[in-house]
Structure 1
Amino acid sequence: MKIWTYLLALLAGVSLSVEGAIYGELGKTIGKLESTFYNFFVGAIILGIVVLFLGKGSLSYTFQAPKWELSGGVLGTIYLTILIIAIPIVGVGIAMISVIIGQMAMSMLIEHKGWLGSSAASINKEKLIAVTLMTISLLLIF
């Protein structure tokens, strides 16, 4: 079962690269902020319909949830807007490798400290080598 999770995560990465390329081009046509708005507007409509029919959670909990748990919307908007600006300048590959390096480094720190409800996991030499190699790959591609 774990292999399916890895494959789905791989598919998510593929989707992010395709999405970044598409919205980078759309940003040239309709505007960078407008492209970000379009993404979240269409996504909200689609997810609203999905939640209406398949949702099992409780949106009313949103008012009781700790505010830090609600910061994902802001971070997602920042992420996508930066990609829309960066991709036409540096390309999909460099932008995505930069994203992955940032994700790897920050996820190691979050897990090392046990922040944001994650299980604590020490930073080891293998993880540091992985981030270093990704950074070298970015420099080689750049």
Structure 2
Amino acid sequence: MTKIWVYVLALLAGVSLSIEGAIYGVLGESIGKLETSFYNFAVGSVIIGVILLFFGKGKLSYSKRAPKWQLSGGILGVIYLTLLVYGIPYLGVGLTMISVIAGQMAMSMVIEHNGWLGSAKIKVTKEKMMAVALMFAALLLVF
């Protein structure tokens, strides 16, 4: 797969997150915020379970032996989605998502700069710091 397709897929992931956030923000008002988060993970678990039956090639049983910190993504996913369900009705999709992206950019730079969580060490540059500063400026301008 060429690098351009990875960028396109990442952009599509961002598009789908905004659509998902908008949908779940409204659903949270209808069925409850925590119930919406539960619904998302219940339906998602069933769907990925069916997909695993046909296409899974990994070793799910390894999760019993994996370092516990590697399993924390599930907890963080629940926190992320639930905060979106709470935030979107008050802030709107745009402001909530730009907040998410600014936070992601800042934390990603810290993680990569320090090589935390098994990531490659990638030095923070002036340009990267400026990009994050502009993201936060955009957040203030949208607010």
TM-score by length of 1: 0.99
| Residue of structure 2 in register with 1:23 after alignment | 24
Query: How many angstroms apart in 2 are the aligned matches of 1:141 and 1:107?
Result: 22
| Residue of structure 2 in register with 1:51 after alignment | 52
For the residue of structure 2 that corresponds to 1:121, the secondary structure is coil
Query: How many angstroms apart in 1 are the aligned matches of 2:23 and 2:29?
Result: 10
Give a deviation string over 1:38-93, Cα, whole Å, max 9, x none. 00000000000000110000111000000000000000000000000000000000
User: Is the counterpart of residue 78 in structure 1 residue 79 in structure 2?
Assistant: yes
Query: How many angstroms apart in 2 are the aligned matches of 1:45 and 1:112?
Result: 37
TM-score by length of 2: 0.99
Alpha-carbon offset, residue 114 of structure 1: 0.2
For the residue of structure 2 that corresponds to 1:56, the secondary structure is coil
Identity %: 66
Q: How many residues align?
A: 142
Query: How many angstroms apart in 1 are the aligned matches of 2:66 and 2:53?
Result: 21
Give a deviation string over 1:13-41, Cα, whole Å, max 9, x none. 00000000000000000000000000000
| Residue of structure 2 in register with 1:130 after alignment | 131
Q: Structure 1, unaligned stretches of length 5 or more?
A: none
| Residue of structure 1 in register with 2:89 after alignment | 88
